[in-house]
Amino acid sequence: MFAPQMQEKRSQKKAVVIGAGVAGLAASIRLAKSGFHVQLVESNDQVGGNIREIRSGPFRFDTGPSILTKPEYISELFLLWNKNPEDYIRFLQVEPLFRNFFSDGTFINSFTDRKKFEAELKQKSHEHFSQVNKLLDESGEIFRLTHEVFLERSLHVAKNYLNWPTLRGIFRFNRIRAFQSMHNYNRKKFKDERLVQLFNRYASYNGSNPFEAPATLNVITHFAVNGGSFLPEGGMISITKALKKLAEETGVEIKLNSPVTKICHEKGKVTGVETNGSFIPADVVLSNADIHYTYRKLLPEIPMPKIIAEQPRSSSVIVFYWGINKIIPNLELHNTFFGKSDIAEYDALFKKETICDDPTVYLYNSSSLNPSDAPEGMSNWFVMVSAPFNNGQDWEKTTAELRKNVLRKLSEVLHEDVSALIVSEKIMTPPMIEKNTNAWLGSIYGNSSNKIFSAFLRHANFSRKIKGLYFSGGSVHPGAGIPLCLLSAKITSELISRRVK
């Protein structure tokens, strides 16, 4: 009487997903819903990719992304299985969004609530808030014109262009500001240089240079400001924990400590993967690994598309995880300490492949909303500075000099000897990022988006040469960051569900 069930199991299509980052987890959950038997293989001893945690004595730190926008993209995965997202994860909206410290000794809080933002600027700036309103409205328009066309569909499937949203986007292409740099757009909007710096900073969310990247990237401003910023209860690691739990409940088989060494294919069709000396057969292979790593290490016999191989890499980061034996009352959850010169900072980063002496510093203080991240009366500081990708720099020297400069800046602004407050320390550099996550050259955002059409030239979510091979994650379409990685998983899993019967 068990024969029909056994036959059904034998005929079930098998999918192997490489890499248990947020896109890999999301794609696995979606493929399981489509009826696939899914094996999710991860080289590390924990899932999450960049979204992991480390501990240093009594301090807990989120290791990677610290700003969450569009939490509904996460909730959608639970709703897909008719589950209540709040049974797995809860989100706290963050206000203010940022406390922004400037070199002239002032600070400006930014808010999603426009009335609060306006009140803040009335007190601290002569800039008329109508200009901020206009920028935020126009960034929302960019999203409305691009999300159906670009963010939620493959750009590499011809029939996706035969619909009204796409045609509307083409007719209104000038409205997405593709032929104007982000900096030039912001500079024309504001007389207050501090606001130019504040809104230029959103280019760093995908490792770009606002002086070169198109103002289309103001869609990031829409995500972060109009849509709001959120922190999951328990920190960013709660995203990983929730998605892992859902994946396991929906039948996804997660294999940790299983680095894939080869994607196998025969006669133009994928057959499976090799890991830990064993072969795992599959009808579909979805690589969530960096696209450069996928070609160079897992598919060395298949040449990477030239247009992808020749694109410059985006920036990386250096992070200091500091346990601080004090609570500084002037800090919010998210804090930015701007340098004096944006142009000097970005020239150093993208043209000289180094870090200037006065870089912008981002400080994420999760214990301010999640007190268990640090002992009572103490703080956990995630202190991050944009860095060039790994191109053979002397990282030991660079990191030591940067540490001195960061400590000097923070001490001057906060009127504290920060170095004397540090009781624990861990550091993350581009080579370490490359080693831990297989991000090619330590570039955590994939190829850069510094050219007019760079954002439209990311690798497709499928292979044209090997049937059954697909790609997701921040290095392919539609781009980097948690929301876009989740959308890449959606695009790819839907392509697979339609194509693989």
Quote the number of domains for the chain.
2
**Residue 321 sits in the same domain as residue 401:** yes
**Residue 404 sits in the same domain as residue 421:** yes
DSSP assignment of 249-314, as one string?
Answer: HTT-EEE-S--EEEEEEETTEEEEEEETTEEEE-SEEEE-S-HHHIIIII-TTSPPPHHHHTSPB-
Residue at 131 is within a domain: no
**Residue 320 sits in the same domain as residue 426:** yes
Distance CA 283, CA 293 (A): 22
Distance CA 493, CA 490 (A): 5
**Residue 244 sits in the same domain as residue 322:** no
What is the Cα gyration radius of the chain? 23
Name the stretches of the chain with pLDDT < 70: 1-11, 149, 153-175, 453, 455-456
Residue at 183 is within a domain: no
Nearest-5° Cα angle at 220, 391 to 387: 20
Give residue 7's pLDDT. 37
**DSSP state letter for 71:** T
Of the residues 424, 444, 464, which one is the last residue of a structural domain? Answer: 444
Distance CA 281, CA 273 (A): 7
**Residue 306 sits in the same domain as residue 326:** no
Range of the domain at 412: 315-444
**Residue 303 sits in the same domain as residue 324:** no
**431: nearest Cα among 319, 295, 287:** 319
Residue at 175 is within a domain: no
Of the residues 398, 423, 444, which one is the last residue of a structural domain? Answer: 444
Residue at 324 is within a domain: yes
Q: Assign residue 251 the CATH number of its domain.
A: 3.50.50.60
**439: nearest Cα among 155, 63, 72:** 63
Distance CA 76, CA 35 (A): 18
**Residue 352 sits in the same domain as residue 426:** yes
Residue at 353 is within a domain: yes
**Residue 418 sits in the same domain as residue 350:** yes
Of the residues 444, 463, 483, which one is the last residue of a structural domain? Answer: 444
Residue at 438 is within a domain: yes
**Residue 332 sits in the same domain as residue 410:** yes
Q: Assign residue 393 the CATH number of its domain.
A: 3.90.660
**Residue 458 sits in the same domain as residue 495:** yes
Residue at 277 is within a domain: yes
Kindly list the distances between the CA atom of residue 278 and the CA atoms of 34, 253, 263, 350, 389, in Å, as whole numbers in the listed order.
27, 16, 12, 42, 33
**Residue 477 sits in the same domain as residue 423:** no
Give residue 157's pLDDT. 59
**Residue 400 sits in the same domain as residue 338:** yes
Residue at 152 is within a domain: no
